[in-house]
Amino acid sequence: MNDGCRGSNSREELAWRACPKDRRGGRTLRSVTVCDRMRHGRESKVMDTIDALHKSPAKLAVPMDALAFSFDRKVGDMTITPLTDGYLDPDFKFLRDIPDENVQLLLKLGHRDGPPRASVNAYAVRAGERIFLIDTGSGNTMGPTCGRLFESLEAAGIAPADVEAIMLTHVHPDHSNGLIDLATNTRLFPNAEILLHEKELAHWFDDDEMAAADERAQHRYFEMGRRQLTPYVEAGRVRTFNEGEILPGILAVPCHGHTPGHTAYQIGTGPGAILVWGDTVHVQEVQLPFPDVTVIFDWNPVDAATSRRRIIEKVVAEGLTVAGAHLHFPGFGNIARNGPGYALVQQPELLKM
């Protein structure tokens, strides 16, 4: 386009102005080139100035540092860092009491196609010089899309030997299978104490409960859970609790049902505090608007649904921020009531410039 000015094509400026001579719907826009401005005696030196800027050594010497993107959250003097272990793409049948077509519709409403993807998140808590973890990911037991926790720790500048305590939300493979090296049965966090609810430890070491489970659950949950925990038990590095403060400023909030000792952890108190939950919500597009939808891995589905509503209502009433093990990474957000269900309001991330 030269708009009536020969030789202007290579120096065209993209701008727009109203043209009264050809109105469509009361207003038509046409392009305005640098030649138009020069023809009217305005900014006749604009292109010389632009050319000079492009050729300026000073411009080329301006340092351009990479932007640092932080997912961290602060609560008082504690910093919470999300750690990705990867993601899982379970089949629709993973969700109970809801038709597949309804799941598909809910996913599309959330601008998602395909299976109901669940992130696998863990969290690091830095309190001064002390470092704690909440969950340890899946190790190398859940396929190629998982097992990235130790890469995430390295990226966060955290050495496994520096971790003082690990709070387990529960003993399922995507939350606790990162505790040991399966080839040697050695502890991957040699200085860490494992904290979990007393009912959780008792359940997975109960021979009668194991005998009552199906073969898959016996191997995948009971045997593997015992294998992951035993080196820490033998080293005297396991501590159980019921509820309340378990570390300075960190409260255990039982939410039993998914497993007998399923537990969330609240960091700080009052609005702005963070509640880190495990499997309270697996698929946010489905279980937030329809919190009574359960999953096939729930130990007690009725209790799991009841617990989900109770925990979500606590989050809403107290103005807490959620950090969810299966919410889309980094997993932070707030919860709002939405009719009979709820909606996740994800928070903007912090761009350090």
- Quick one: which of 8, 70, 76, 72 has its CA closest to 39? 8
pLDDT of residue 1: 46
Q: What is the DSSP string of 256-323?
A: TTSSTT-EEEEESSSTT-EEEESSS-S-HHHHTTSTT-EETT-SSHHHHHHHHHHHHHHHHHHTPEEE
Judge whether residue 77 has pLDDT over 90: yes
Judge whether residue 16 has pLDDT over 80: no
Q: Which of 1-5, 88-92, 260-264 has the lowest mean pLDDT?
A: 1-5
CA distances from 339 to 40, 74, 165, 239, 291 (A): 60, 31, 40, 41, 12
Tens of pLDDT, residue by residue over 258-267, are 999 999 999 9
Band (229; pLDDT cuts 50, 70, 90): very high
Q: Which of 1-10, 196-205, 285-294, 327-336 has the lowest mean pLDDT?
A: 1-10
Decide: 192 and 133 in contact? Cβ < 8 Å.
Answer: yes
Rounded to whole angstroms, the Cα distance separating 146 from 85 reads 5
pLDDT of residue 51: 52
Judge whether residue 186 has pLDDT over 70: yes
At 32, which helix (H) or strand (E)?
none
Percent of the chain with pLDDT over 90: 72
Decide: 326 and 119 in contact? Cβ < 8 Å.
Answer: yes
Tokens of 260: 């007998």
CA distances from 337 to 187, 255, 324 (A): 42, 20, 17
pLDDT of residue 290: 96
Judge whether residue 136 has pLDDT over 80: yes
Judge whether residue 309 has pLDDT over 60: yes
Band (352; pLDDT cuts 50, 70, 90): low
- Quick one: which of 177, 256, 283, 269 has its CA closest to 224? 177
Judge whether residue 346 has pLDDT over 90: no
pLDDT of residue 91: 86
User: Average pLDDT of the chain?
Assistant: 85
> Comparing 56 with 114, which gets the higher pLDDT?
114
Rounded to whole angstroms, the Cα distance separating 166 from 193 reads 6
Tens of pLDDT, residue by residue over 20-67, are 334 334 433 333 333 444 444 444 444 454 454 445 444 445 454 554
Judge whether residue 151 has pLDDT over 80: yes
pLDDT of residue 112: 80
Q: Which of 4-18, 36-50, 60-74, 284-298 has the lowest mean pLDDT?
A: 4-18
pLDDT of residue 69: 60
Band (9; pLDDT cuts 50, 70, 90): very low
pLDDT of residue 37: 40
Decide: 87 and 119 in contact? Cβ < 8 Å.
Answer: yes
The stretch 99-124 carries a mean pLDDT of 90
Contacts of 274 (CB under 8 A, 6+ apart): 73, 75, 80, 266, 267, 268, 320, 321, 322, 323, 332
pLDDT of residue 20: 38
The stretch 1-15 carries a mean pLDDT of 40
pLDDT of residue 3: 44
Model-wide pTM > 0.85 = no
The stretch 189-210 carries a mean pLDDT of 98
Judge whether residue 192 has pLDDT over 90: yes
Judge whether residue 15 has pLDDT over 90: no
Judge whether residue 5 has pLDDT over 80: no
